[in-house]
Every structure is written in structure tokens, then in C-alpha cells.
Amino acid sequence: MNSLDLQTLGLRAINQKLQSLEAKTNEREWTITNPMGQHAIACGLTVPIEITVDGHAGFYCAGMNQEATVTINGHAGVGVAENMMSGLVRVKGNASQSAGATAHGGLLVIEGDASSRCGISMKGIDIVVGGSVGHMSGFMAQLGHMVICGDAGEALGDSIYEAKLYVAGSVESLGADCIEKEMTDDHMNTLAGLLEKAGINKDAHSFRRYGSARKLYNFDIDKADAY
Amino acid sequence: MDDKTPQASPRPSATFDDYTMSEIRRAASTGIYDIRGSGAKRSLPHFDDLLFLGASISRYPLEGYRERCGTEVTLGDRYASKPLQLKIPITIAGMSFGSLSGQAKEALGRGANLAGTSTTTGDGGMTPEERGHSKLLVYQYLPSRYGMNPDDLRKADAIEIVVGQGAKPGGGGMLLGQKINDRVAAMRSLPKGIDQRSACRHPDWTGPDDLEIKILELREITNWEKPIFVKIGGSRPYYDTALAVKSGADVIVLDGMQGGTAATQNVFIEHVGQPTLACIRPAVKALQELDMHRKVQIIVSGGIRNGADVAKAMALGADAVSIGSAALIAMGDNDPYYEDEYRKLGTTAGSYDAWHLGRDPAGITTQDPELASRLDPVVAGQRLANYLKVMTLEAQTIARACGKNHVHNLEPEDLCALTVEAAAMAQVPLAGTSWVPGQGY
């Protein structure tokens, strides 16, 4: 295990070090100490290394991640794992707004709660939230899965495309064109697999599924009052 | 009244003119607002309302065709370790693959290469062909983040964070389903054939404090190499420029309301935003007050048509200009050659703006393979390069006549205005006077 002290080394030096590692490196495990809520920690990583951020992280931690596993032993600021392409990001605490925004792939696990706009414009990522999510989560969500073990705030899945949302608790309200959908065996299996992968012990049968009614996919003036 | 009684001519209403009445009838018939491409079509104060004074006894001109007048420009040397070096101060504005055909994007790259300048991606991401055909490629970072990925980010020569555009400041966009073929759909991670909404707000930042952190993240991901542009619509240019500088931008791209768009509501295009002419001086003032003029470069776009427009934008403080609509026209958009086909579409060459419907006879704003194949990217690229060359020569001609050995040395003192409005917006004297509106009597 290699240790990098952010307070001593500074953000640029740490990111530069981690970004320069090659896929075949033997130095696979790294801990970043004293993160102090700084922004853009461990962003732009490209190889399958394991990073532990030992404390709270600011905005965009693990942004645009590819292949790496990043664990945050604390809370995460706005846009954790934004535009992630692959890999795994785990937040042990809570996450601020726009967690996993626009991300194309990989798995984001938030063990606590996530604030508003979780999974906004998600494009293929899988997100598992152990707690609840705030309003407008899944806004314009395109692809991927979002699993919410707690409750969802208002306007869940507003203007959603093809992403699939699973909620165990209550949903304050659904957004435009988002409806509850049938939970088939395939969906149940997918959900159970995601929970297992995330390491969250929750019965898949306690969830309900939400997705797009696909009524607003092509502009129709007679449906303009839906927005 | 007999037939010898003098009759007044029928008098059309200036308020309810032919176009206005036809639009009322169209709206009454369809129940939907008009959507179109292009920029503001109404008459606006513009660069034509300015004139250069030229040299005189108190100003010494440079010899045409003999004495050098520089046109090179460096963009993004505030923080980026690899700023853009352009041979001419005219860049190609962001236009997406999806909105434009692959052939059109290739032609833009080829033309820009020949001229020694950059081209820009649009909403929908970067195609390998576009990267391959563009020596200098600016990668737009838009609210939708369609196709956004870190590999392409690192392949770019600069990154342009799009906050707004002149045709629709505060608005998003919609690429209609008929232009969404398999490839466009895959690039945007959405099903084929459905309308694709381009968001109006970025999903993970709000306001200048967040933008500063977003810029930090993009720099960290790209090793602080790439210049970061921030594109703003002509809305509040003074404050937006100041805030973009505060957020850490290397370059400001300022787009006035004559700037084109792929598609939005006509009412939005014509009634939101400010004319390009009105935007430049407030933005430059913000840079000067921050001691950042020429340190943070400013690119002006929206209705740039010729070398005179280029020179006038420079004189008002721009470091470079950007063209979109004019580049498409140079490649063949709205060419009378296709008049018969424009007529079949209910329009005429010069007025065609249904870019969103994908039936462009010139093969530019379409994804239809047959139509797109009409555009030869090599020929169109050469036409664009020729046009860029002419604009550059024209700007140099004017600069020499004003005694400047570089187009950047043009200044407001070289200008006068033909109208009170233009004088007020450009903050130069009304022709024949020393009066600058707003600066005393």
C-alpha cells in the first residue's frame, strides 16, 4: 500500500502520479491521506488500480474514471464519479448533488444518502444508493440502472429515457413521462445482481421499478402541457 | 364617387406586414410555434454600421502587398501549457456531427487545415473522422455531454465549455428524430429515431464558483495542457466575461444573436439576446478592468461575413472571430444551384433554414446518405479555405490602410459609426462628429 499525503504533496502531484501509472503496474493500491475536502481528487484515472481517499472529498472526486476502484472513506462533494466510463467508485458516507452525472459505465455505490439530481443524464452507469436520494434524481437519465434502497425525492426520473430505476422506499413524486413499470424476473435478477455487486444486503423483492412511458420521445404539441 | 376620383394606394400595415401576417396564419393553422435553424434574420445594428477612417496626415499607412501585416494569433496561454497557435484570426465555430453530415464536418476540417486555423466539435461528441481531418480541433463540453469521454478530451487541442450561444442564450436544443440514424444514436447513448434534447444547464455545476472547480477538474484530467475556452451567448457580456475570467478561463467565446443554431424556436432566435455589435465593448471592458485584455483572449462570433467584419471586431478588442453560418454558405449552403429543390421545400435559395428537418439539398445539414453524398468534402473544404483566405486578405488590407502591422493593432480610434445606435453600441464617434453616445456631450 502506497500512501500519498495531499496536504504535503498537493493535488497536481497526486493526480499526476496516479494518472501516469501503467496498466501493468505493480503499485496497485494507494491511499490518499488528508484529502481535506479538496476538489478533483483522483480524477481522470485510466488503469485498474485501487485508491482509498481517507476522509472527505470535494467536487468531482473520481471524475471521468476509467478502470480504477476509488473508495472514499467519508462524504463526497458535488459530481462524484461524474462522467465515469468504467471501474468502481464507493462512497462510504453521503454524496452531494449530481452523483454519477452523465456517466457512461462502471458502478457507483453510495452507502449513505445522495442529494438531488443523483444520476442526472446518466448514460450507462449503474448506481446503487444505500440510503435515499434527493429531488430530480434520474433527470433525463438515458441508460443504466439506479437502485435506491431508501426513499426518492420529488420528480424522480423526470424526462427519463431508457434508464431503469428501482426504489425500495417511498417516491415523493414522479417526473414528466416517468411511470412505475412491471418488475419481471429479468429485472429482479438484474437488481439482485447489482445489490450483491454493491455489497448491500437488501431483498430485491422489496423494490418497485420505474422507467419511461416513452410518450414524450417525439415532440407532440398536444402533450406540451406535460412539462 | 366616380372613377375619376383620386384613390389612395392600398396601404399595407408596417405592424402587420406580409411576413407577420403569414406567420399568424401559419400559427393559426398548425397550433405550433415555428422552429428553424440559423440566427436572427431581423435587421440589427451590425458591423455594416461602422466604417474605418483609414490613414491621413496624422496616421501613416503601410504599403499593400509589400509591408507585413500579421494575422497570427495565440489562444489560451493564460494557464495551458499547449496554447493554440493559429495562422489567421478566424476559427470555425462549433457545429455537431448529427446536425451536420459527416461530409460537411470533414470539409470544415479540411478547410480549416488549409487555412491554418481550428475547427470545433458540437453537441454529440467527437468523431474519428473529424479528429483525423482537423489538425487543430476544439472539443465542446456541453450540458448534454453526449459522447463526452476522457479519451477524446485528451485528444483535443482545446476544450470549449459551452454555457450559452448567441441564437438562444438560456436555451437548450432539440435534434429531431428524423436526423437520428444508428450512428448518431449510438454516439448519444439514445434510441434511434427519437428527439434528442440538448439540456440548457450543465448537470453538475451551477454558477461561477462551481465553474471554477469544473475547469480545475478538466485541467487535472488533461494535465494542464489544453486551453479552456468558455463560450457565452450575447446576454450579459460584461458580467459573463468577468465571471468566466474569474473562473479561470483561458479564452472567452462571445456569440451574438446573429450566430446560427441547428434548431430552435424562431421567437427565441429573434427576441432573446443582444446583437453581436452590442456585446463586444462590454466584454472587452470587463477584460480591461481585470487587466486581462490580450491575456485572456476573446473570440467574437455571430454574423461575421467578410474581412471588414473581422477587422471591425478586432478594432473593438477581439483577438479572433469565429464563423459558422458563413462557413456553411461557403461550402454550398443555400446555393441557387439547388433552387428547384428549395422551391419544392417551400422556400428559396438564401432563405432555407429548416436545418433541423434534415432535407438539405446541399447535403450539409442532413443525415440522409443520398443528400449527404452530394457534398464533396475535398471540394467544399477548398472552397472554405479560399473564403478564409479572402477574409484574411481583406482584414489585412484594412489594417494596412489604418497603419497597422498586425490586425490586433486595430483599435476603436480607427472607427466611426453611421448611426447613433451603432455609435452607442461600439462606443465610437458618430461619423462627422466627435460624439460618442453615453460619453458626455
* Model confidence pLDDT, tens digit, residues B77-127: 999 999 999 999 999 999 988 889 999 999 999 999 999 999 999 988 898
CB contact set of B344 (below 8 Å; sequence gap of 6+): none
A11 touches chain B (CB under 8 A): yes
Radius of gyration of the CA atoms of chain A, in A? 18
- In chain A, residues with a C-beta closer than 8 Å to the C-beta of B176 are 218-219
Q: How far is B90 from chain A (nearest CA, A)?
A: 32
A85 touches chain B (CB under 8 A): yes
Report which DSSP code applies to B93.
Answer: P
Domain assignment present for residue B340? The answer is: no
A133, with CB counted inside 10 A (0-12, 13-18, 19+), is buried
B145 touches chain A (CB under 8 A): yes
Give the per-residue pLDDT at B441: 59
A109-130 per-position pLDDT tens digit? 999 999 999 999 999 999 999 9
Is A222's pLDDT higher than 80?
no
Domain assignment present for residue B351? The answer is: no
Which pLDDT band, with edges at 50, 70 and 90, does B180 fall under? confident
A55 touches chain B (CB under 8 A): no
Domain assignment present for residue B125? The answer is: yes
Q: What is the pTM of this model?
A: 0.96
d(CA B162, CA B144) in angstroms, rounded, equals 10
How many folded domains does chain B comprise? Answer: 1
Which pLDDT band, with edges at 50, 70 and 90, does B1 fall under? low
**Largest separation between any pair of C-alpha atoms in chain B:** 87
B10-65 per-position pLDDT tens digit? 999 999 999 999 999 999 998 888 989 999 999 999 999 999 999 999 889 999 88
d(CA B423, CA B308) in angstroms, rounded, equals 17
Which pLDDT band, with edges at 50, 70 and 90, does B302 fall under? very high
Q: Would you call B191 and A40 a contact, using CB atoms and an 8 Å cutoff?
A: no
Interface-testing mutation among B217, B223, B265, with chain A (most A C-beta atoms within 10 A):
B217
B81 touches chain A (CB under 8 A): no
Q: How far is A40 from chain B (nearest CA, A)?
A: 5
Q: Would you call B148 and A102 a contact, using CB atoms and an 8 Å cutoff?
A: yes
Give the per-residue pLDDT at A226: 67
Neighbours of B351 (CB within 10 A): 12
A68 touches chain B (CB under 8 A): no
B27 touches chain A (CB under 8 A): no
Contacts with A, B 364-423, CB within 8 Å: none
* Mean pLDDT over each residue of chain B, to the nearest integer: 95
* Parallel, antiparallel or unpaired: strands A178-181 and A208-212: antiparallel
Best CA proximity match to B134, nearest among B155, B153, B149, B150: B155
Structural domain boundaries, residue B128 = 47-332+375-426
B204 touches chain A (CB under 8 A): yes
Give the per-residue pLDDT at A227: 64
Interface-testing mutation among A219, A221, A223, with chain B (most B C-beta atoms within 10 A):
A219
**Architecture of the domain whose range is A2-215:** 3 Solenoid (2.160)
Give the per-residue pLDDT at B356: 87
d(CA B90, CA B382) in angstroms, rounded, equals 16
Q: How many CB pairs under 8 A join A and B?
A: 102
Which pLDDT band, with edges at 50, 70 and 90, does B183 fall under? confident
Interface-testing mutation among B79, B154, B189, with chain A (most A C-beta atoms within 10 A):
B189
Q: How far is B151 from chain A (nearest CA, A)?
A: 9
- Which CATH number goes with the domain that contains B77? 3.20.20.70
Is A169's pLDDT higher than 90?
yes
Q: Would you call B204 and A98 a contact, using CB atoms and an 8 Å cutoff?
A: yes
B205 touches chain A (CB under 8 A): yes
Which pLDDT band, with edges at 50, 70 and 90, does B229 fall under? very high
Is B321's pLDDT higher than 70?
yes
| B430 and B437 Cβ atoms separated by less than 8 Å | yes
A60 touches chain B (CB under 8 A): yes
d(CA B412, CA B50) in angstroms, rounded, equals 10
Which pLDDT band, with edges at 50, 70 and 90, does B195 fall under? confident
- In chain B, residues with a C-beta closer than 8 Å to the C-beta of A140 are 197, 199
A142 touches chain B (CB under 8 A): yes
* Parallel, antiparallel or unpaired: strands B173-175 and B196-198: antiparallel
- In chain B, residues with a C-beta closer than 8 Å to the C-beta of A213 are none
Q: Would you call A12 and B220 a contact, using CB atoms and an 8 Å cutoff?
A: yes
d(CA B66, CA B404) in angstroms, rounded, equals 13
B320, with CB counted inside 10 A (0-12, 13-18, 19+), is buried
- In chain B, residues with a C-beta closer than 8 Å to the C-beta of A78 are 204-205, 210, 213
Interface-testing mutation among A65, A143, A217, with chain B (most B C-beta atoms within 10 A):
A217
Q: Is the ipTM reported for this complex over the cut 0.90?
A: yes
Is A91's pLDDT higher than 80?
yes
Best CA proximity match to B229, nearest among B299, B280, B286: B299
Q: Would you call B204 and A79 a contact, using CB atoms and an 8 Å cutoff?
A: yes
Give the per-residue pLDDT at B185: 82
Interface-testing mutation among A43, A117, A139, with chain B (most B C-beta atoms within 10 A):
A43
